[in-house]
Structure 1
């Protein structure tokens, strides 16, 4: 099979295939923009020994001026790529039954299994490459359009630096390679034979609650941060440079995987409970679907749960900051300007979480619509046998919400615990004299403005951010409800009696 033939066959298809290519390209473009923005922040030069000072005074944003904050800013930008990549994974699955039949026709024409897999990789890879090129073009155009120094000559964004050519090439070419590999992996359980499509489904045991071990390991890794730091401090030693990032990254990934995998157990358990206690055909239909494929919730809710974990962690970090600010104000070591900076930074994190939830909702819409379209013959048979469409609609809603509600609560608890193990401890302060200045940072630069006062010993305990946690959870569940409503719009056309003749 020549490259030209492979390209023509990969681009062949119907309108659903075109929509899949467009959505995959859009997801790749968004992921490329997030990755390039993170690389741009990291490209701001830091001189040797300049980590603790502001060495990039050409920027108006302290997140860019302070070298110690650039790494966290880059990580926050990369976190936005997580739900986008999950959306891309959902888009690759769009129209899978029709594509599988098309691949079977290729086998009938003489294509080998390897050539069929190569066609899938080429289709997903080309869509990803188109998206990353669009993302690169948007990034370069935005870099020119957003280069707007203010009256003091300061830049709001790092539009004066560029990542290295190798880093840009890694993003532009690496994401399409990942898209192609994802397409092949999603095809691993499908055998496209000349006689049709066979899906290899192993009879698996029901999901177990062992995912709780991963969650416990992740929380324990964060809980070790403070004791390990104290252990090295007691010996007048600095911990290894990679120890803290390793604990944070490894613990966060373990907790995230534990929550996502645990959603399969929650789905299976919810299905059993609905089957045991549910009343009416809608709940019984949803119960059977949940117990038959409990991992569907893990696949579709992964990006949303990641955003919820980050949002809950940000809520815990904000509560910890507020406790520190209260203690610092009491001993005269805090100014309103610095407090506002850190709180405004947390506001940016909250907005990033909202964007991530919106992107994850897009993935949920794709997954829900794909599930309805893939089972349209079953739904059409139910309607033809007398089941009202409203019953099927309610069963789809039950199937989406039954695992989403407990999984969201679990993600909120895990995200809060990750930051609460380090930032939720009580703060002791006072019991000594301190120099306090009632003015702002500029006025307190004069030593004569300082007053020596006695600060009684006291303890500040961070308050649990119930309101912010409720807001994150409500936003996530609202996104699920909206996606269910959008998906139900496709239910009428997918349950027409004519769908019984669909192959």
Structure 2
């Protein structure tokens, strides 16, 4: 098959195929912007001087201080996770119709390898289009937002660019990852001239071995503080060990929670089948047990955002406790000075990033649920034809979404909070001393008389455990649950159209 023919066939399809390409390109665009923003932060050069020298050309301390740029870049990279999960959900939109189209191409004489290359090329070209548009938006935004103030300071690092190799890795690497993911998803699908077949799923439900990955993630975060103490002074070793522990721990915990959702879905289905008496719950139980990994695919982006949000909530609780202790110590020392609100203000930006991630994950939830309803429209139409009320099917869809979602949300928030508390479990301050002059300003300023009016006030050491941020975790859980409910509501709108009896005649 010639390359031109391959490209033309990859771009052919219905309106659903066009929507899949557009949504995949949009997801790649968002991921490109997040990746290039992280690389831009890392591209800021350290100014000459000691290790505490700051880049004074920026307003925000997150960009000025070299020690904070790594965390800022890490937070931006974390935003790529829900975006990439959204891309994965968009790539599955209309997958049954696409598989039937590929089977028809097989009937026309294409080989299995050519059919697989068609699907891979479609996703890769859509992602490449999105990354190229994202690169253009990044370059245009860099010029538009480059507005120094009167002191020459910048709000964003628009004066630096990542290296060409790093930009190429993002722009070209994301389409390659998308293409490989598509090839991986097609491994269980066989397109033959006789139609589309899938390998049978295993009858036994998923095991709870995902807990091992969660334990590995928690152990990696718990090892950060001991490693920092043991390797104090070995900056080169700490420079790669600590980021490695963070990356391995976060990735293992996220994969463990996402995979664990499959185990949760299967066992929720078992419990519903054993104890439920209503048809809606029994239908949902059968579906949950037949495809327990659907929950992992559907909630992956949302759970990743919640893990990040739970960790951020634990860090906010640490900074709030530290701020309170600093104020108490200043008051005991007789100093009228407040604590530094910088870190608490920074956590506001982190919370905003978590909110954006949850919003993006909600889009992925909607795409996944609608895709599942449309893919099973003939089965739903057959149930309606046999006398099952549409209201029963609606409640079944709600059960299928909410039954695994609630425990999965609780698990994600718990794991995220434990990761955050693994870094900092308590706050302590040492004994401090402050000189206070009990006289007029003239006597205190005179070196000859200052000493006789000066006294030293000692503030005792304070140690306090960090409270669990239940209120913020409750808000995160409520927001995630609201996102699931909105998704169910949107899905039910498509359910009525998908249960028309005409669907029984669709191929």
Aligning the two structures, in what range does the TM-score lie when normalised by the shorter sequence? over 0.9
Report the CA distance shift for 1:127/1:111 in structure 2 as closer, same or farther (over 3 A): same
Is 1:471 the counterpart of 2:490? The answer is no
Tell me how far apart the structure 2 counterparts of residues 461 and 7 of structure 1 sit (CA, whole Å): 61
> Which residue of structure 2 aligns with residue 274 of structure 1?
272
Q: TM-score if structure 2 supplies the norm length?
A: 0.92
1:502 to 497, 501, 506: 506
The answer on whether the counterparts of 1:428 and 1:460 sit within 8 Å (CA) in structure 2 is no
Tell me how far apart the structure 2 counterparts of residues 237 and 188 of structure 1 sit (CA, whole Å): 47
> Which residue of structure 2 aligns with residue 390 of structure 1?
391
> Which residue of structure 2 aligns with residue 67 of structure 1?
66
Report the CA distance shift for 1:256/1:392 in structure 2 as closer, same or farther (over 3 A): same
Tell me how far apart the structure 2 counterparts of residues 60 and 229 of structure 1 sit (CA, whole Å): 30
Tell me how far apart the structure 2 counterparts of residues 145 and 478 of structure 1 sit (CA, whole Å): 36
Deviation at 1:286, TM superposition (A): 0.5
> Which residue of structure 2 aligns with residue 490 of structure 1?
494
Tell me how far apart the structure 2 counterparts of residues 260 and 451 of structure 1 sit (CA, whole Å): 60
After TM superposition, list the pairs within 5 Å mapping 1:129-278 onto structure 2: 129-233=128-232, 240-278=238-276
Is 1:45 the counterpart of 2:45? The answer is yes
SS at match of 2:162: coil
Deviation at 1:214, TM superposition (A): 1.6
> Which residue of structure 1 aligns with residue 456 of structure 2?
452
* Higher mean displacement: 241-250 or 83-92: 241-250
Q: For each residue in 1:14-71, what CA deviation from the matched residue of structure 2 results, as whole angstroms up to 9, or x when unmatched? A: 11000000000100111111111111111111246654221x2111111111111111
SS at match of 2:479: helix
Q: TM-score if structure 1 supplies the norm length?
A: 0.93
Deviation at 1:221, TM superposition (A): 1.8
Tell me how far apart the structure 2 counterparts of residues 337 and 327 of structure 1 sit (CA, whole Å): 11
SS at match of 2:458: strand
Deviation at 1:204, TM superposition (A): 4.3
The answer on whether the counterparts of 2:426 and 2:463 sit within 8 Å (CA) in structure 1 is no
Deviation at 1:426, TM superposition (A): 4.8
Deviation at 1:90, TM superposition (A): 0.6
The answer on whether the counterparts of 2:213 and 2:256 sit within 8 Å (CA) in structure 1 is yes
Q: For each residue in 1:285-312, what CA deviation from the matched residue of structure 2 results, as whole angstroms up to 9, or x when unmatched? A: 0011111111111111111101000001
Deviation at 1:275, TM superposition (A): 1.1
Deviation at 1:165, TM superposition (A): 1.6
Gaps of 5+ in 1: 438-446
Deviation at 1:202, TM superposition (A): 3.6
Deviation at 1:206, TM superposition (A): 1.0
Is 1:24 the counterpart of 2:28? The answer is no
The answer on whether the counterparts of 1:40 and 1:158 sit within 8 Å (CA) in structure 2 is yes
Deviation at 1:335, TM superposition (A): 10
* Higher mean displacement: 463-472 or 245-254: 245-254
> Which residue of structure 2 aligns with residue 399 of structure 1?
400
Q: For each residue in 1:72-119, what CA deviation from the matched residue of structure 2 results, as whole angstroms up to 9, or x when unmatched? A: 111111111110110000111111111111101111111111111111
Report the CA distance shift for 1:492/1:478 in structure 2 as closer, same or farther (over 3 A): same
Q: For each residue in 1:124-169, what CA deviation from the matched residue of structure 2 results, as whole angstroms up to 9, or x when unmatched? A: 1111111111111111111111111223221101111111222212
Report the CA distance shift for 1:422/1:434 in structure 2 as closer, same or farther (over 3 A): farther
* Higher mean displacement: 12-21 or 150-159: 150-159
Tell me how far apart the structure 2 counterparts of residues 367 and 22 of structure 1 sit (CA, whole Å): 16
Tell me how far apart the structure 2 counterparts of residues 79 and 9 of structure 1 sit (CA, whole Å): 35
SS at match of 1:459: strand
* Higher mean displacement: 104-113 or 457-466: 457-466
> Which residue of structure 2 aligns with residue 298 of structure 1?
296
The answer on whether the counterparts of 1:323 and 1:427 sit within 8 Å (CA) in structure 2 is no
Deviation at 1:219, TM superposition (A): 1.1
Deviation at 1:176, TM superposition (A): 1.2
Q: For each residue in 1:211-268, what CA deviation from the matched residue of structure 2 results, as whole angstroms up to 9, or x when unmatched? A: 11221221122112223333345xx766643222222211111111111111111111
Aligned length: 489
Deviation at 1:451, TM superposition (A): 7.4
Report the CA distance shift for 1:17/1:338 in structure 2 as closer, same or farther (over 3 A): farther
Tell me how far apart the structure 2 counterparts of residues 226 and 458 of structure 1 sit (CA, whole Å): 20
The answer on whether the counterparts of 1:330 and 1:455 sit within 8 Å (CA) in structure 2 is no
Deviation at 1:337, TM superposition (A): 8.2
Report the CA distance shift for 1:393/1:335 in structure 2 as closer, same or farther (over 3 A): farther
SS at match of 1:187: helix
SS at match of 2:239: coil
> Which residue of structure 1 aligns with residue 13 of structure 2?
13
Report the CA distance shift for 1:181/1:49 in structure 2 as closer, same or farther (over 3 A): farther
Report the CA distance shift for 1:466/1:500 in structure 2 as closer, same or farther (over 3 A): same
> Which residue of structure 1 aligns with residue 125 of structure 2?
126
Tell me how far apart the structure 2 counterparts of residues 141 and 46 of structure 1 sit (CA, whole Å): 26
The answer on whether the counterparts of 2:318 and 2:427 sit within 8 Å (CA) in structure 1 is no
Tell me how far apart the structure 2 counterparts of residues 123 and 148 of structure 1 sit (CA, whole Å): 40
> Which residue of structure 2 aligns with residue 327 of structure 1?
325
Is 1:107 the counterpart of 2:111? The answer is no
